[in-house]
Amino acid sequence: MDIQELRTRNPDHWMRATAIRALALDAVAAANSGHSGMPIGMADVATVLYSKHLNFDASRPDWADRDRFILSAGHGSMLLYSLLYLCGDPEITLDEVKNFRQLGAKTAGHPENFLAKAIETTTGPLGQGIANSVGFAIAEESLRARFGKKLIDHNTYVIAGDGCLMEGVSQEALGLAGRYELGHLIVFWDNNDITIDGKVSLSDRTDQVARFKASGWHVQEIDGHDPEAIDAAIVEAKKTSQPSMIACKTHIALGHAAQDTSKGHGALTNADQNDAAKAAWGWTSGAFDIPAEIKTWWEEVGARGAAEREAWETRFAETSAARQKEFTRVMDGEAPKKLSAVVKALKKQVSETAPKVATRKASEMALEVINPIMPETIGGSADLTGSNNTLTGDLGVFDTDNRKGRYIYFGIREHGMASAMNGMGLHGGVRPYGGTFMAFTDYARPAMRLAALMKTPTVFVMTHDSIGLGEDGPTHQPVEHVAISRATPNTLVFRPADAVETAEAWEIALRQTATPSVLSLTRQGLPTVRLEHKNANLVEKGAYVLAEAEGKRQAILMATGSEVAIALAARDLLQAEGIGTRVVSMPCWELFEAQDESYRRRVLPPAGPVRVAVEAGVRMGWDRWLCGERGSAKKSGFVGMESFGASAPAEVLYDHFGITAEAVAEKVKSLL
Amino acid sequence: MDIQELRTRNPDHWMRATAIRALALDAVAAANSGHSGMPIGMADVATVLYSKHLNFDASRPDWADRDRFILSAGHGSMLLYSLLYLCGDPEITLDEVKNFRQLGAKTAGHPENFLAKAIETTTGPLGQGIANSVGFAIAEESLRARFGKKLIDHNTYVIAGDGCLMEGVSQEALGLAGRYELGHLIVFWDNNDITIDGKVSLSDRTDQVARFKASGWHVQEIDGHDPEAIDAAIVEAKKTSQPSMIACKTHIALGHAAQDTSKGHGALTNADQNDAAKAAWGWTSGAFDIPAEIKTWWEEVGARGAAEREAWETRFAETSAARQKEFTRVMDGEAPKKLSAVVKALKKQVSETAPKVATRKASEMALEVINPIMPETIGGSADLTGSNNTLTGDLGVFDTDNRKGRYIYFGIREHGMASAMNGMGLHGGVRPYGGTFMAFTDYARPAMRLAALMKTPTVFVMTHDSIGLGEDGPTHQPVEHVAISRATPNTLVFRPADAVETAEAWEIALRQTATPSVLSLTRQGLPTVRLEHKNANLVEKGAYVLAEAEGKRQAILMATGSEVAIALAARDLLQAEGIGTRVVSMPCWELFEAQDESYRRRVLPPAGPVRVAVEAGVRMGWDRWLCGERGSAKKSGFVGMESFGASAPAEVLYDHFGITAEAVAEKVKSLL
């Protein structure tokens, strides 16, 4: 690449873009860690995007109708931080830039959405940003249909690298965006032909242009260092009704000794080489120093959208008060006041009629009363609609000709679904939930973890949650997946015992604003165990006494989900022998942990009674409650799974693996 | 579809294929669960493949040079079981077919490789089979290069459905197969346009033909019910040097009332409809009854490869005894005798020189002595070669012009890599290991679980295993991933403390024949803690006393990996205050659990001393050792992570999150 030619072809543009380059180079060198080459390579694209197209107001990064910018290639975080600082973002100051990658800085190694408002999503794990962006674009379509163009009409822009496109989740994202014709989604592919291990061709020779076209995308190929070409391509991309991919041929670490090499991907910290790069760029300012003229220009870019934003505020003020209130409510992620009432009514009805239903069906029953009063919910399933029970009557199906539809057929794409749901939640204004089998949390794991890290309250509806699914066998039978979800910080894992607990769990999940929920639900029918109606949401305590011991309390049985009924049956056996037995239902460990000591002590009184836990999963974690919480190792036991499951009818499997009331009672007696 | 036309066009073929259809229909109806439509739809393809192309001998399903057949669309398991029964497989008898999906049957809901020799892999979680097949094909290429065409020269055939192709992992598989020109890989796409939720077009409009071509595949499109077309396409596919995809337009549940509907995907159990389907097919035999003529024909198909197999045995017998022995050794997955010796020598050298190295570097040191004596190892990384330290000097790079190369650049495809490694292991003859960051076990999870379920000893080299990786921040810092791996049945999770333990862990991992291993390795340098050389492999015990208390034993510190050095430093602090402190290194919980009670009791003596565990991860599971194993809740504590990490230098983070020798010592004192 002839830097001289680039410098002279469009000198103003060049110096403005090079401000990004210089900041990235300086910040990475100061931190002695990070990724210099990508911001340097994509500075031209970013400069044209921000200065000519991105509709935003740097001073108000939370403006609801801003264009979203997602840096899927999150390792190039200094590109984003440089842009934000240059444009005058109130949170990403020069000090933050200088503090890149240091403790407490908003300029973390990879962009973290919860550190600054202008950071739309957390990226770094490759492919997540492009998959999130599908959710952003769906949310935009949905809200545009609901609230009209005057309130919602914006684009989602993404920069994705070769790594993003090699990750399988990108194919799921491509397929979804193509199928649903998400025309407001525009992806720039940083086509620099470099990965960490070497040239892209070392491990991939996919024709990405052909691949995107195969999934229904509009594709253009440009020189990613030519500002006119970048501008023209964005103009074109905005016109099409298809999602758009702009393949930008770029040079990683442009103008640096490491240009076009995998070394250029990482931290460029050699002072001489960095000085030489700056000289080649024609950049004469000191470290972190931006010439006033260039900073002023960038600040004007940052303020460019102020008028648009103000016009939007005027339009917003002109809409009815009710509409304003509703818009604000959903954008804030606030559940409607009616939620408690409909859940209570359902609980009452369930306690009275005591149906025997699977908790997946119970979940549908809850959604049937919730969805009508929460127009912000968007449901879906990864091709298991009838099994996950996620579709309710009134939702309508989201499609190219029905953007108001609130149900999404995600296809066989658990990972893409979960990432898209995260994107919807991050966009705001909609509240996504989606289903698959609990065993396939494995496929969705990267996005489920990110939901927790990003503090977005996605609801994962995971059905068929144990050997109780029967004949499909061990590939489909989760045994470790409840433990996996519980091991993840900032995640509420609900394993409700019946339709009452399921409704309570839904209410809690939908009240969250910063924590995702996993609903672990059965395929098989379960009796109602909450036969006495209570207005209070007992699941909110995490664990509670479901059945008290009669006579002297000699044993405490702890159980979740489908095993609560087994614990109750075991209690019957034990009580018949005069062994006073309490049953504690523990639908949500995390909420129980959050209770104060005195409550926890009331539910699980210190040593004395034998404690036996029963759950059709692995023991991992249960020792915390069996003996870690003032219990005793000698007087505690566990009835559950020690291996993978097997293929057979559910009842046969429960017998085969010894998860029965008899086994629980025997275990208690052996410990007494 | 005009069934009558199909019946008359090629009546012999029709009835032979319909034997599969009838068995599938009968078995699913008898089990009252399963998937009827796929075997019915793909019966023609399977019949042509088995009778004219698949090189196998049903009586010897473990013949090393057989063609491999992988049913990626695993829910259609009755297709495979029908084929095996019809061909006379010794394990899949008629009784097994009648016992479909029942406890103890080899005919599980989804094919499970460990139930019968002829089942090459475990499928059901969609996309896994096609991703495994890449590993099968790589293993075949590698062994062909090593042992010559006379011993290894076969094809890998796959049937994949729409679900397999929608899963992201399929794109990773496509990319790998295309890049490495795996010409012996032939995939049939069951293009029936149906998923569980409805038409494929409901959720996907990807042009699969264009997509496969974009990744360098040879593609043909045929009528999947036309035996001549099927035959001709396979002939063509075998000729090309590219991986081949044959798009077979088929009708799910062909001839049944549920044909071409999503109902046809599941269990067809309506007796009248099933009778009508059989009538339409012209099938007049009773349930599970195959006319003798047809069964005989199929048994001839099953015996078709006997001559080839015998010829191969002759060729094998003609090779040198040494070569025979080596071939047998690697196919049996037996580690070489020298392994212990080279590991011992390395351990001795490490103990003497006491280097401060990261355990990822220690892993490389181990591989440097192991790879030269284990020509069956195939290493790789998901684009983090320099970070995972997986490449050693002598391996050579696997490529189109170097099939002997033993290192694979997998690209940014953790999931595809893990699935491909499983495939290599299942093929046999090679021993795969591959690396990524520990946090990205999330991406590889579905395949890591399957490795455990399938009993294939894949080695997952997971580096950067805690906040100790520093500035890349919480997206890259595992906190729950060691717990996740430990929660998974049949998985050895090693978190070695230094280069000695790392070498010992490698030796154990490479001796496994039925259990995968996860090596959790640091980015940061660690001191050598095993300063006294011992021939015995201490990691084999899972946990052991690394440093004994001086004076009265008042505390036991338990730690793994990078925190062992912290525990030792805490011991110094405590001993300085006269508090006798034992340090137990626990590199592998699973192996410790497998020890007898008396050994476990010696390492963790019953109540008395305070127990404190230290690990830079979540507490989940530790209560088992703190108090569940004869400990005391009141006298135990944990020093580790309670949240996600942060972006900052490693030492800063250890201080910030309070994982220090001082904190451990304080915790002990607070409990005394």
pLDDT range class, residue A632, cuts 50, 70, 90: confident
Per-domain boundaries in chain A: 3-310, 337-527, 540-670
- Considering CB atoms only, which of B472, B643, B646 is closest to A489? B643
- Single out the residue of B584, B554, B552, B550 nearest to residue B568, CA to CA: B584
B169, closest residue in chain A (CA to CA): A168
What is the least distance, in Å, from the CA of A304 to any CA of chain B? 32
Q: Chain B, 402-431: which have a CB under 8 Å from a chain A CB?
A: 409-413, 415-416
The answer to whether B412 contacts A446, with C-beta atoms less than 8 Å apart, is no
Cβ of residue B217 closer than 8 Å to a chain A Cβ:
no
- Considering CB atoms only, which of B383, B453, B656 is closest to A196? B383
Query: Best mutation site among A72, A107, A171, A422 for testing chain B: the one with the most B CBs within 10 Å?
Result: A171
Q: Chain B, 260-289: which have a CB under 8 Å from a chain A CB?
A: none
What is the least distance, in Å, from the CA of B352 to any CA of chain A? 33
Q: Which two tokens stand for residue A276?
A: 């030489």
Q: Chain B, 57-76: which have a CB under 8 Å from a chain A CB?
A: 74
Parallel, antiparallel, or unpaired: how do β-strands A580-585 and A492-494 relate? unpaired
Write the DSSP assignment of A131-153 as a string of letters.
Answer: HHHHHHHHHHHHHHHHH-TTT--
The answer to whether A475 contacts B123, with C-beta atoms less than 8 Å apart, is yes
A65 and A28 in contact (C-beta within 8 Å)?
no
A162, closest residue in chain B (CA to CA): B412
Would you say the pTM of this structure is higher than 0.90? yes
A617 and A466 in contact (C-beta within 8 Å)?
yes
Query: What percent of chain A is predicted at pLDDT more than 90?
Result: 98
Q: Which two tokens stand for residue A508?
A: 């809690």
Question: What letter would DSSP give residue B116?
Answer: -
**Residue ranges for chain B with pLDDT beneath 70:** 1
Residues 6+ apart with CB under 8 A from B94: B85, B288
Question: What letter would DSSP give residue A343?
Answer: H
B-chain residues within 8 Å CB-CB of A442?
125, 445-446, 449
Write the DSSP assignment of B347-390 as a string of letters.
Answer: HHHHHHH---B-HHHHHHHHHHHHGGG-TTEEEEESS-HHHHT-
Cβ of residue B10 closer than 8 Å to a chain A Cβ:
no
Cβ of residue B601 closer than 8 Å to a chain A Cβ:
no
A120 and A426 in contact (C-beta within 8 Å)?
yes
- Beta bridge partners of residue A260, listed in sequence order: none
Residues 6+ apart with CB under 8 A from A160: A72, A73, A129, A130, A170, A187, A188, A189, A190
Q: Is B82 left (phi over 0), alpha (psi -120 to 50) or beta?
A: alpha
Task: Give the C-alpha distances (Å, rounded to integers) separating A393 from A367, A369, A389.
Answer: 10, 10, 11
Residue B656 is assigned to a ligand binding site: no
10 Å Cβ neighbour count for B532? 6
B221 and B209 in contact (C-beta within 8 Å)?
yes
Cβ of residue B656 closer than 8 Å to a chain A Cβ:
yes
Query: How far, in Å, CA of A516 to CA of A419, rounded?
Result: 13
Q: Is the pLDDT of residue A630 over 80?
A: no
Cβ of residue B1 closer than 8 Å to a chain A Cβ:
no
What digits encode the pLDDT tens for the residues A221-257?
999 999 999 999 999 999 999 999 999 999 999 999 9
Answer yes or no: same fold for B337-527 and B540-670: yes
Task: Give the H/E segment covering residue A639.
Answer: strand A636-639
Assigned CATH topology for domain B337-527: Rossmann fold (3.40.50)
Query: How far, in Å, CA of B461 to CA of B390, rounded?
Result: 8
- Considering CB atoms only, which of B197, B204, B636 is closest to A385? B197
Task: Provide mean pLDDT across the span A447-470.
Answer: 98
Query: How far, in Å, CA of A404 to CA of A141, rounded?
Result: 8
ipTM of the shown complex = 0.98
Helix axes A37-48, A227-239, angle to 10 degrees: 60
Q: What are phi and psi of A496, to 5 degrees?
A: -75, 150
Q: What are phi and psi of B342, to 5 degrees?
A: -70, -35
The answer to whether A440 contacts B450, with C-beta atoms less than 8 Å apart, is no
Write the DSSP assignment of B408-461 as a string of letters.
Answer: EE--S-HHHHHHHHHHHHHH-S-EEEEEEEGGGHHHHHHHHHHHHHHT---EEE
HEC-encoded secondary structure of B120-144? CCCCCCCCHHHHHHHHHHHHHHHHH
The answer to whether B205 contacts A211, with C-beta atoms less than 8 Å apart, is no
What is the least distance, in Å, from the CA of A591 to any CA of chain B? 15
What is the least distance, in Å, from the CA of A289 to any CA of chain B? 24
The answer to whether B440 contacts A446, with C-beta atoms less than 8 Å apart, is yes
Mean pLDDT for chain A overall: 97
Cβ of residue B216 closer than 8 Å to a chain A Cβ:
yes
Start-end of H helices in A604-671: 623, 650-656, 661-671
Query: How far, in Å, CA of B226 to CA of B232, rounded?
Result: 10
Residues 6+ apart with CB under 8 A from A149: none
B489, closest residue in chain A (CA to CA): A643
Parallel, antiparallel, or unpaired: how do β-strands B610-614 and B636-639 relate? parallel
A574 and A665 in contact (C-beta within 8 Å)?
yes
What is the least distance, in Å, from the CA of A348 to any CA of chain B? 33
* A540-670: CATH, from 3.40.250.10, 2.40.30.170, 3.40.50.920, 3.30.70.890: 3.40.50.920
Parallel, antiparallel, or unpaired: how do β-strands A377-381 and A407-409 relate? parallel
Q: Is A174 left (phi over 0), alpha (psi -120 to 50) or beta?
A: alpha
10 Å Cβ neighbour count for B95? 12
The answer to whether B178 contacts A206, with C-beta atoms less than 8 Å apart, is yes
Parallel, antiparallel, or unpaired: how do β-strands B244-249 and B185-191 relate? parallel
pLDDT of amino acid A606: 85
Query: How far, in Å, CA of A138 to CA of A424, rounded?
Result: 7
The answer to whether A483 contacts B620, with C-beta atoms less than 8 Å apart, is yes
- Beta bridge partners of residue A246, listed in sequence order: A188, A220
Interface A-B, measured as beta-carbon pairs within 8 A, has a size of 365
- Single out the residue of B320, B300, B354 nearest to residue B56, CA to CA: B300
Query: How far, in Å, CA of B406 to CA of B390, rounded?
Result: 11
* A3-310: CATH, from 3.40.50.920, 3.40.50.970, 3.40.50.300, 3.30.70.1560: 3.40.50.970
Task: Provide mean pLDDT across the span A293-320.
Answer: 98
Residue type, B603: V
Residue B410 is assigned to a ligand binding site: no
What digits encode the pLDDT tens for the residues A461-499?
999 999 999 999 999 999 999 999 999 999 999 999 999
Task: Provide mean pLDDT across the span A153-158.
Answer: 98
Query: How far, in Å, CA of B57 to CA of B55, rounded?
Result: 7
- Considering CB atoms only, which of B105, B204, B479 is closest to A179? B204
Can you tell me whether residue A549 is helix, strand or coil?
Answer: coil
> In angstroms, how far is CA B519 from the centroid of its own chain?
15
Q: Is the pLDDT of residue A1 over 80?
A: no
A464 and A414 in contact (C-beta within 8 Å)?
no
Residue B464 is assigned to a ligand binding site: yes
Residue B125 is assigned to a ligand binding site: yes
What digits encode the pLDDT tens for the residues B440-491?
999 999 999 999 999 999 999 999 999 999 999 999 999 999 999 999 999 9
- Single out the residue of B632, B605, B637 nearest to residue B619, CA to CA: B637
Parallel, antiparallel, or unpaired: how do β-strands B553-559 and B610-614 relate? parallel
Catalytic site residue from A112, A140, A376, A414: A414
pLDDT of amino acid B1: 63
Task: Give the C-alpha distances (Å, rounded to integers) separating B579 from B556, B576, B586, B672.
Answer: 10, 7, 22, 10
pLDDT range class, residue A641, cuts 50, 70, 90: very high
What digits encode the pLDDT tens for the residues B196-236?
999 999 999 999 999 999 999 999 999 999 999 999 999 99
B400, closest residue in chain A (CA to CA): A202
> In angstroms, how far is CA A551 from the centroid of its own chain?
48
B490, closest residue in chain A (CA to CA): A643
Q: Chain A, 478-517: which have a CB under 8 Å from a chain B CB?
A: 479-480, 483-484, 486-490
